[in-house]
Structure 1
Amino acid sequence: MWKIEDAIELYGIERWGSGYFSVNRNGNLIVKPTKNDAQVIDLKNVVDSLVSKKINYPILFRFPQILESQIKTLNSAFSNSILEYKYNNTYQGIFPMKVNQRKEVIEEIVKSGKKYNMGLEVGTKAELLAALSFDLSNDALLICNGFKDDEYLHLALNAIKLSNKVVIIIDEFSETKRLLEIAKQLNVKPIIGIRAKLYSRGSGKWAESGGESSKFGLSTTEILECVKIISEYNMIDQLQVLHFHIGSQITEIRRIQKAVKEAARVYAKIKLKHINIKYFNIGGGLGIDYDGSKTSSDASANYTIQEYANNVVYSLKEVCDEENVTHPIILSESGRAISAYHSVLVINIKGNKNGDLNKRVELRGNEPHIITELYDAFKEINIKNYVEFYHDALLHREELLSLFNLGEIELEEKSMGEILFWQLCEKAIGFAKETENKSDDFDDLNKLLSKKYIGNFSVFQSVPDFWAIKQLFPVVPVSRNNEKPTEYGTIVDITCDSDGEIDKFVDLKDVKEILELHELNNGSYYLAVLLIGAYQDTIGDYHNLFGSANEAHIIVDESGGWHIKQIVNGDRNCDVLGYVKYNNSYLLSAFESEVNQAVKECGLSKSDAEDIMNNYKNVMNRYTYLDI
């Protein structure tokens, strides 16, 4: 008997959900944005509500309260560690805007992080322009990273005149003198930081972004020279931040511990030179457990947020105490940990491709022997002979193709043979499951027989990291989790690209190549792709000119009722055409000329011409995805 607990275990929800997701007694996926069991959002109810409002799918759901909850969790973890290890300073979080630059997301982070003096990190002039529009707390830092030209430096230094607490990190040695010269011209004293290039590297997909091969950071020699130059400009008191970064999504806690110890030693040695370093910025890298395995696999992390904070605080304190230097304020740029959980993409499935398994084959009596043999095997296969019959069927299929290539059978007969082969395979895989046959032959056959569920979305736009680097994201049915899934499948999108397919899925011990799903019936079937709040919004690709998805921002009140806080419309066809430099007025004019020419030369009626133009204008202003 299938139970709700079986679905939770099958999809690993409690392992990767961090307390935010589960399944209710109705079999619907639920969201607990505050981790409070009394404040629950039934995602199927929200889906039905939006369908009734004629809001088309796919829809990206945002849960702003999850952002607030993650900020609280991160700050609480460091507070606990600071208290436990008697660390003599504080912690401040920084959100790196590159992780998610969406205005609505940053607004919520700034609002929720204000009581923690949470700041922002930028890496470009555009991000800095956006960051300066937000009302940070007086003690929050605005950290400027990345390669900087004079224009970038002018903008950052001018912001200091407006009482912003701007930190300019020297990521490249050549920036040093330019920063100091422009600061002197503007009569501004910025908070200066140095990014150290460590020997230590992270682990996982982004390990190469750290260590000696990193494109950012100063070597030991460059750090010493940088300190000397800053002293010559009488700005040494402004050198207050030591920064390092060993990579995103670090999977192994020991890598973090090693890097902190190395950087802490650099901090201590600089501090012993009577330099007023106040902040120790450990950068990003705090990992998310996407697959729930709590291992050092690329899709996981073998530590919790609390263990992360413990290792940072303990390792830093240990070195500082050895060197007899004061404990610095700890900064971290943990963007993924803050934003990943808050976004869920819901896609509607418009159908699936399952071959010819439901077609009935009737013999007339004059079929070639190969058809008769396949038909007899299909009828006679059973739990005792299925292995032998399956291997025979493979030989029969080869013979079928050879006969067709030699011109000895017709298309209709080839079709009959293929249908019988696949129907026999389906019977064989059923017997293999019943006998728990896990041999490679039947594992491969199971994948081959799996269905392709056609989702109304674009992998390249909504989950680009899956396509680009095979980042795993959990996928769960929005409803029907009280029913045992009887099908296996992958999820294909509606782009004209064979890469537009989700064919790798989270699993406790492995990476699944097919996912357990339900047979489609007359009702709608929705799938949720979760933990996509970090990077996916920003790096989405307009492949086939599919644009950004509609958004619904959902909150839950203290009584447990959910509300739509905001609807953000996705891209229309005219929007994405504009992104690739098409002028919509010109397109309308050019098409109208074509229609008028058809009226003059082809006998097109004026009423038909008007209908055609209205249809063109209507589609121009419609959502880029299918209206199903």
Structure 2
Amino acid sequence: MNNYGIDIWGDDNFIIKDGKVCLKYGCEPAIIDIVNTLQDDGYKGPLILRFKHLIKKQIEQIYKSFNKAIKEFEYEGSFNAVYPLKVNQYPGFVKNLVKLGKNLNYGLEAGSKAELLLAMAYNNENSPITVNGFKDKELITMGFIAAEMGHKITLTIEGINELEMIIKTAKERFKVKPNIGLRVRLHSLGSGIWAKSGGINSKFGLNSTELIEAVGLLKENDLLDCFTMIHFHIGSQIHEIHPLKKALSEAGNIYVELRKMGANSLKNINLGGGLAIEYSQFEKSPQRNYTLSEYANDIVFILKTIAGQKNEKEPNIYIESGRFVSANHAVLIAPVLELFSQEYSESKLKLKDKNPQLIDELCDLYKNIKPANAVEYMHDSCDHLDSVLTLFDLGYVDLQDRSNAEILVHLIGKKAISMLSAKHLLRTQKEVQERYLVNFSMFQSLPDFWGLGQEFPIMPLDRLDKNPTQSASIWDITCDSDGEISFDANKRPLFLHDVDVEKEDYFLGFFLVGAYQEVLGMKHNLFTHPTQICIDVNEKGYEIESIIESQSIRDILEDLDYDVREIDEILKERIENSKLIDDRSKKQILGELFIFIHDNGYLKNI
């Protein structure tokens, strides 16, 4: 049985039972059963399933690991976490996250005016808010308003000009002020494709000279008591622990130096994000070389050691780590619409009374193939096809001969793989690779795969008690050749089942898609966010708590600033003016267009 690497990436969240992928929680429902229920209720096309218990699990794991380390090392600082809204701002996730993190004082991080408004509206009382990123006067004023509302907010300064705006705003407003943080530009770099987030040439933060200048400005303007945090970030999805340990040592020493300069209210270090999750589903390419426990222990131990050596107060620890919290709660479900090799069937063979010799030889290969010669015959058939194509170009065989050759080669390949053992399948993947047309847009739902080559676990939702024999390339429905997840025998040896999708449904699950993919999704070909379903699983069963349907074609056109009323009027006028159809037919066409424009643009697998 192929478990598609659940033991590598699944984090004990999923199991396989009776050939189906199931949630390892509560009554352990099969995801395919949830999908079938939704299909019966009319929700076709791609779906995003959100599982609340997986949000709660990740939050609790972080706090448990750090609090255990604090107790073990007798650390005197506290642990705090904030969720960076940029990772996923969808209400089906954020509202649940705030609710589930309330007892732990789990906070929010904002990087824009819109995100700060969300934090001000939804953050739990007494939970922290941090504000990162570049700021103007308006954003800084909003930070002051948040403090005046009673929020525990820290504005993290990215440049001296921002600090000068804070000083000016403090003089203009009321007595209550936000806390101030300084983002430190470290020399230390992270690892992986997001390593450029750190280092001395990174986009954000203050260098040593600017830190000294900032402390001086705070002293001059009686705001040093507001300076409570330093912040750094060396990159998302840090694969190795060593770069973090080096950066933490650098930041820890900056912390004690700033306190020695008189910053006595400085008591917090924010490590930013970077806590990685394991995306790989294949043993050859694991992505993370440390555990959450090791991550927490190293951070607590290093900061305790530095503070002890310099005889300074052990700082409170803040982390963001939005990917770790959000990635695994969401699963993209998409139906397979077509297997392209199924266009080649025996019924489509049109053999002549007298065929070219190469066609007769292909027929013999197909008739006489057996396990002992399967690989050899398959290779021979590919050579024969090359010869037929050459003869076609030279005019010695016709289009029917070419068609017969193509069909026979595909039939030989399919017959061969049914005879081969699993260990021999990789040897044949070039000859028998299957293309699966899947009803989703990669640009909308997996933009990090397209843009960064980020892998995501992929597996069928059922038939897991049957051996998958097809080396699979996945094609999305966009009008773009980049919309493909190609088979790669070394990095991505994905095998799927040979199914007749005209007779039975076949759904693929794309896992760990809850971080960044939804908010980064592009409207390429004007495909919209899939329908979102929030699901609460318990011991008795599962409950569908909320459904947010995918935008209609009309909605997305309006998002792009089209005047949809104008479009309605133009279409109506052109149909009414058409001389090709009668009045009764015109009414039918207008009704059909009304239905289409008020539905989403995904294909219907009916």
Normalised by the length of structure 1, the TM-score is 0.91
- The question of whether the paired residues in 2 share the 8 Å contact of 1:183 and 1:190 is answered with no
2: CA distance, partners of 1:253 / 1:45: 40
1:275-424 matched pairs, under 5 angstroms:
275=263, 276-291=265-280, 300-354=287-341, 357-359=344-346, 361=349, 364=352, 366-381=354-369, 389=377, 392-424=380-412
The DSSP-based 3-state class of the residue aligned with 2:464 is: coil
The DSSP-based 3-state class of the residue aligned with 2:345 is: coil
Out of 423, 429, 441, the residue aligned to residue 458 of structure 1 is: 441
1: CA distance, partners of 2:258 / 2:487: 47
Is 1:17 aligned with 2:10?
yes
Is 1:626 aligned with 2:603?
yes
- The question of whether the paired residues in 1 share the 8 Å contact of 2:108 and 2:123 is answered with no
The DSSP-based 3-state class of the residue aligned with 1:132 is: helix
The aligned counterpart of 1:175 is 162
Out of 31, 34, 41, the residue aligned to residue 23 of structure 2 is: 31
2: CA distance, partners of 1:384 / 1:118: 62
1: CA distance, partners of 2:581 / 2:186: 72
The aligned counterpart of 1:198 is 186
- The question of whether the paired residues in 1 share the 8 Å contact of 2:107 and 2:123 is answered with no
Is 1:499 aligned with 2:482?
yes
Out of 56, 70, 83, the residue aligned to residue 68 of structure 1 is: 56
The DSSP-based 3-state class of the residue aligned with 2:474 is: strand
The residue identity in structure 2 corresponding to 1:272 is K
Out of 452, 461, 477, the residue aligned to residue 469 of structure 1 is: 452
1:472, distance to aligned residue in structure 2 (A): 1.0
- The question of whether the paired residues in 2 share the 8 Å contact of 1:241 and 1:278 is answered with yes
Provide Cα deviations, 1:78-125, integer angstroms capped at 9, x if missing partner. 001001111111101100000011123111111121221111111111
Is 1:94 aligned with 2:82?
yes
The DSSP-based 3-state class of the residue aligned with 1:567 is: strand
Out of 531, 541, 559, the residue aligned to residue 550 of structure 1 is: 531
2: CA distance, partners of 1:14 / 1:391: 35
The DSSP-based 3-state class of the residue aligned with 1:161 is: helix
Change (3 A) 1:83 1:229: same
Change (3 A) 1:480 1:388: closer
Runs of 4+ in 1 over 6 A off after TM superposition: none
2: CA distance, partners of 1:206 / 1:447: 33
Change (3 A) 1:354 1:270: same
1:140-219 matched pairs, under 5 angstroms:
140-187=127-174, 188-219=176-207
1:460, distance to aligned residue in structure 2 (A): 1.1
The DSSP-based 3-state class of the residue aligned with 1:346 is: strand
The residue identity in structure 1 corresponding to 2:260 is L
The aligned counterpart of 1:512 is 492
The residue identity in structure 2 corresponding to 1:7 is N
- The question of whether the paired residues in 1 share the 8 Å contact of 2:130 and 2:155 is answered with yes
1:381, distance to aligned residue in structure 2 (A): 5.0
1:362, distance to aligned residue in structure 2 (A): 6.9
2: CA distance, partners of 1:309 / 1:568: 37
Normalised by the length of structure 2, the TM-score is 0.94
- The question of whether the paired residues in 1 share the 8 Å contact of 2:92 and 2:534 is answered with no
- The question of whether the paired residues in 2 share the 8 Å contact of 1:101 and 1:538 is answered with yes
1:593, distance to aligned residue in structure 2 (A): 0.8
1:54, distance to aligned residue in structure 2 (A): 1.4
Change (3 A) 1:465 1:376: same
1:419, distance to aligned residue in structure 2 (A): 2.7
The residue identity in structure 2 corresponding to 1:278 is K
The aligned counterpart of 2:251 is 263
2: CA distance, partners of 1:294 / 1:193: 42
1:45, distance to aligned residue in structure 2 (A): 2.0
Range with greater deviation from structure 2 (485-494 or 223-232): 485-494
The aligned counterpart of 2:590 is 613
2: CA distance, partners of 1:165 / 1:586: 48
The DSSP-based 3-state class of the residue aligned with 1:212 is: coil
Identity of aligned residues (%): 34
2: CA distance, partners of 1:182 / 1:45: 56
The DSSP-based 3-state class of the residue aligned with 1:317 is: helix
CA RMSD of aligned residues (A): 2.3
1: CA distance, partners of 2:564 / 2:14: 43
Change (3 A) 1:543 1:224: same
The residue identity in structure 2 corresponding to 1:291 is S
2: CA distance, partners of 1:606 / 1:356: 40
- The question of whether the paired residues in 2 share the 8 Å contact of 1:40 and 1:560 is answered with no
2: CA distance, partners of 1:7 / 1:393: 29
Change (3 A) 1:144 1:560: same
The residue identity in structure 2 corresponding to 1:216 is F
Out of 557, 569, 593, the residue aligned to residue 589 of structure 1 is: 569
Is 1:532 aligned with 2:513?
yes
Change (3 A) 1:87 1:446: same
Is 1:568 aligned with 2:548?
yes
Out of 487, 508, 533, the residue aligned to residue 470 of structure 2 is: 487
The DSSP-based 3-state class of the residue aligned with 1:199 is: coil
1:469, distance to aligned residue in structure 2 (A): 1.1
The aligned counterpart of 1:3 is none
- The question of whether the paired residues in 1 share the 8 Å contact of 2:476 and 2:484 is answered with yes
The DSSP-based 3-state class of the residue aligned with 2:121 is: coil
Change (3 A) 1:319 1:211: same
Unpaired segments ≥5 residues, structure 1: 1-5
Unpaired segments ≥5 residues, structure 2: none
- The question of whether the paired residues in 1 share the 8 Å contact of 2:125 and 2:151 is answered with no
Provide Cα deviations, 1:374-417, integer angstroms capped at 9, x if missing partner. 33444455555566655554443333222211212211112222
The aligned counterpart of 2:110 is 122
Provide Cα deviations, 1:443-496, integer angstroms capped at 9, x if missing partner. 3x4144222122111111112111111211111211221222233322222111
2: CA distance, partners of 1:484 / 1:244: 48
1:517, distance to aligned residue in structure 2 (A): 2.8
Provide Cα deviations, 1:188-227, integer angstroms capped at 9, x if missing partner. 4321101111111111111122112210011111111111
The DSSP-based 3-state class of the residue aligned with 1:77 is: helix
2: CA distance, partners of 1:605 / 1:335: 58
Is 1:59 aligned with 2:47?
yes
2: CA distance, partners of 1:435 / 1:88: 55
1:592, distance to aligned residue in structure 2 (A): 1.0
